[in-house]
Amino acid sequence: MPSNHFDVIIIGTGAGGGTLAYSLASSGKRILLLERGGYVPREKDNWDTRAVVKEGKYHTKEGWHDKDGKEFHPGTHYFVGGNTKFYGAALIRLRKEDFGQVRHHDGTSPAWPISYDDLEPYYTKAEHLYQVHGKRGSDPTEPPASAPYLYPPVSHEPRIQQLVEDLERVGHRPFFLPVGVMLDEKNPQKSPCIRCSTCDGHPCLVNAKADSQVICVDPALEHPNVTLLTHAYVSRLETGSSGREVTKVQVERNGSKETYSADVVVVSCGAINSAALLLRSANDRHPSGLANSSDQVGRNYMAHLNSVMLAVSKCENPTVFQKTLGLNDFYFKSNDWDFPMGHISFVGKTDANVLAAGAPSIVPGFTLELMAKHSLDFWLTSEDLPDPDNRVTLTKKGGIQLNYQANNLEGHKRLQAKLKSLLKHIDCTEDLLHMHAYIGKRIPIAGVAHQNGTLRFGNDPKTSVLDTNCKAHDLDNLYVVDGSFFPSCGASNPALTIMANALRVGDHLRERLS
Ligand SMILES: Cc1cc2nc3c(=O)[nH]c(=O)nc-3n(C[C@H](O)[C@H](O)[C@H](O)COP(=O)(O)OP(=O)(O)OC[C@H]3O[C@@H](n4cnc5c(N)ncnc54)[C@H](O)[C@@H]3O)c2cc1C
Ligand code: SF4
């Protein structure tokens, strides 16, 4: 075998690719990881809100285009560990109901081809692997789980504890948000995590966030059979004469072109880049893009309806680590509305730099500094629905073009109204302010943090790109394990589901390769 031939090539080292690498590392198979980025540099700017949020220091500088050809800069990151280096590590399961059809105001969210029970054991494994801290049973909408969390929930700081009590007083059921930070509150001197305010959206300077690099890629690389090439941009996949197998992986690295091959090739570049890579890899056998006989590659792009809303607390909010509380009381249909609204939790505590970047309207009499001292910084997520016209295509030069028209907005608006109606009960003023800067969302289409759905899996090759093992229907050795396999996305943050699925596909590949 030539030395550039491997058993498995994994392209991308984020939540999907990194987790799969970990899952396969101990198999002894020769595994090559190809990652377009390098390691996040460890430097003081990691924890500087000005550098990270205001100046977008770690965002890709790549320009993408909207449907009208207008350039924008997406809020995404190319590094070892992918976007998990920057995520808020809220690691939440989809609800059991999300795996079936769900009726929404604007349409129906389709069922998955696998059930919650199929994924459940892998959710548990992923929670344990990523050191999720949480409390089973505190979230009343939580699906059944086969094991407890291994780590206790991250405690609420006093202002958040007060919020819990205020919400409970009016009949709500706030819960401990499950988070992947290596915090040991019983043993603070030895705790890797120091419980700081610059977690969500920032890389962790002390490597205490359970991200894909720290948890999966670094341990995988301890196995001699695993190799990582950084700054290795995969430009194209080529197939052999039958068109059924990827035979060459074309890489641009350090200004030169290199070619690798493997028995199994796994694409995990993030939903948008994975679709773009398959489209760029069109050839005679696959004229409209690799694995695209269904014409579904790039379609059904989803990103969740996300917003950050600031409530102004009458007392100060000196909370440091704010992401400890979630509220799913509006996740499903309710007494006063027949459709789901979504999930409420928090982003990391904002400061004046973050607020300046988000340009919220200022409450009269407040400065940015004063607002930051008083804000409770809520995160709201609702489900958007798959629409074939919301899609990734390529520009004439091969760049990324993203067409996205948000849908199912009524549920999200009602979720915002629900939060507003709670303000009088939680010691806040009546003001609820939109904040746009977080996760690069200065313009809505750039908010690609929760990207998913562009290569959906399913049983029918006519309507889906991947089969239930996440293998392309049209090819025998091409798999995808990032967020693109989602046929629908619920209203829970996506990373844990991507990780769990990567472990599931890992088991399948181990069997295939044995
Ligand atoms: C600020 C922020 C906060 C977030 N907070 C949360 C949260 O609290 N909870 C949650 O569940 N989710 C959160 N997310 C979302 C979460 O990070 C993503 O859902 C998850 O990382 C997606 O995993 P993935 O494997 O699909 O892609 P990614 O993690 O994006 O990984 C893709 C990898 O592929 C590489 N790549 C791309 N193209 C190529 C190519 N052509 N060649 C080689 N390599 C390539 C990229 O560099 C990257 O490393 C957040 C995201 C952001 C940005
Ligand atoms: S809160 Fe903990 S895990 Fe997050 S950045 Fe700070 S030290 Fe790292």
pLDDT digits (tens, 9 = 90+) for 383-418: 999 999 999 999 999 999 999 999 999 999 999 999
Indicate if ligand 2 lies below 6 Å from the C-beta of 33: no
Burial class (CB in 10 A: 0-12, 13-18, 19+), 496: buried
* Average pLDDT taken over every residue of the chain: 95
User: H/E element holding 168?
Assistant: helix 158-169
**Mean pLDDT of the 491-508 span:** 98
170-174 long-range contacts (CB < 8 A, ≥24 apart) are 170/422, 170/425, 172/327, 172/329, 172/422, 173/139, 173/140, 173/327, 173/328, 173/329, 174/325, 174/326, 174/327
24/32 Cα distance (integer angstroms): 11
**Closest ligand 1 atom number to CA of residue 235:** 41
Distance 153 CA to ligand 1 centre (A): 24
Indicate if ligand 1 lies below 6 Å from the C-beta of 381: no
| Whole-number pLDDT of residue 361 | 67
Q: Which residue among 155, 198, 319, 320 is best mutated to probe the pocket of ligand 2, counting the most ligand atoms within 8 A of its Cβ?
A: 198
Indicate if ligand 1 lies below 6 Å from the C-beta of 12: yes
Indicate if ligand 1 lies below 6 Å from the C-beta of 78: yes
Indicate if ligand 1 lies below 6 Å from the C-beta of 39: no
282/270 Cα distance (integer angstroms): 19
Q: Using H for helix, E for strand and C for coil, what is the string for 31-87?
A: EEEECCCECCCCCHHHHCHHHHHHCCCCCCCCCEEECCCCEECCCCCCECCHHHHCC
Report helix angle 116-129 to 495-513, nearest 10: 100
Sign of the CA dihedral running 410, 414, 415, 416: positive
pLDDT class for 178, splitting at 50, 70, 90? very high
**Mean pLDDT of the 350-358 span:** 80
**Closest ligand 1 atom number to CA of residue 273:** 38
Q: Which of 32-46, 296-310, 431-445 has the lowest mean pLDDT?
A: 431-445
Q: Which residue among 268, 269, 482 is best mutated to probe the pocket of ligand 1, counting the most ligand atoms within 8 A of its Cβ?
A: 269
**Closest ligand 2 atom number to CA of residue 192:** 7
Q: Whose CA is nearest to atom 14 of ligand 1?
A: 87
| Whole-number pLDDT of residue 2 | 62
Vertex 486 angle, CA 238 and 100, to 5°: 145
Residue with tokens 């001292």: 373
Nearest ligand to the CA atom of 181: 2
pLDDT digits (tens, 9 = 90+) for 99-127: 999 999 999 999 999 999 999 999 999 99
Indicate if ligand 1 lies below 6 Å from the C-beta of 22: no
**Mean pLDDT of the 63-89 span:** 96
Strands 175-176 and 325-326: antiparallel
pLDDT class for 238, splitting at 50, 70, 90? very high
Is the predicted pLDDT of residue 439 greater than 50, yes or no?
no
51/274 Cα distance (integer angstroms): 28
Is the predicted pLDDT of residue 353 greater than 90, yes or no?
no
Is the predicted pLDDT of residue 360 greater than 70, yes or no?
no
Burial class (CB in 10 A: 0-12, 13-18, 19+), 467: middle
pLDDT class for 470, splitting at 50, 70, 90? very high
Indicate if ligand 2 lies below 6 Å from the C-beta of 194: yes
| Whole-number pLDDT of residue 335 | 86
Indicate if ligand 1 lies below 6 Å from the C-beta of 84: yes
Is the predicted pLDDT of residue 364 greater than 90, yes or no?
no
Is the predicted pLDDT of residue 358 greater than 80, yes or no?
no
Indicate if ligand 2 lies below 6 Å from the C-beta of 195: yes
pLDDT digits (tens, 9 = 90+) for 188-232: 999 999 999 999 999 999 999 999 999 999 999 999 999 999 999
357/184 Cα distance (integer angstroms): 32
**Closest ligand 2 atom number to CA of residue 195:** 1
pLDDT digits (tens, 9 = 90+) for 125-168: 999 999 999 999 999 999 999 999 999 999 999 999 999 999 99
Distance 196 CA to ligand 2 centre (A): 5
Indicate if ligand 1 lies below 6 Å from the C-beta of 411: no
Q: Whose CA is nearest to atom 29 of ligand 1?
A: 14
Nearest ligand to the CA atom of 194: 2
Share of the chain above pLDDT 70, in %: 97
pTM of the predicted protein model: 0.97
Q: Token pair for residue 208?
A: 């205490």
Distance 181 CA to ligand 2 centre (A): 7
Is the predicted pLDDT of residue 438 greater than 70, yes or no?
no
Distance 190 CA to ligand 2 centre (A): 14
DSSP-based three-state secondary structure for 471: strand
Cα–Cα nearest to 275, from 453, 90, 459: 453
Q: Which residue among 209, 214, 321 is best mutated to probe the pocket of ligand 2, counting the most ligand atoms within 8 A of its Cβ?
A: 209
Is the predicted pLDDT of residue 441 greater than 70, yes or no?
no
**Mean pLDDT of the 418-428 span:** 94
**Mean pLDDT of the 250-274 span:** 97
Q: Whose CA is nearest to atom 36 of ligand 1?
A: 269
| Whole-number pLDDT of residue 315 | 94
**Closest ligand 1 atom number to CA of residue 18:** 25
pLDDT class for 3, splitting at 50, 70, 90? confident
Nearest ligand to the CA atom of 210: 2
The residues, ordered by sequence, that sit 6+ positions from 460 with a Cβ below 8 Å of its Cβ are none
Instruction: Note whether 326 and 344 are within 8 A (CB).
Output: yes
Distance 494 CA to ligand 2 centre (A): 20
Q: Token pair for residue 12?
A: 């991308």
| Whole-number pLDDT of residue 442 | 46
Q: Token pair for residue 309?
A: 């809303």
Tell me what percent of the chain is helix, strand and coil, each rounded to the nearest 5: 25, 20, 50
**Mean pLDDT of the 53-65 span:** 94
Is the predicted pLDDT of residue 440 greater than 60, yes or no?
no
Nearest ligand to the CA atom of 349: 2
Q: Whose CA is nearest to atom 16 of ligand 1?
A: 495
| Whole-number pLDDT of residue 437 | 54
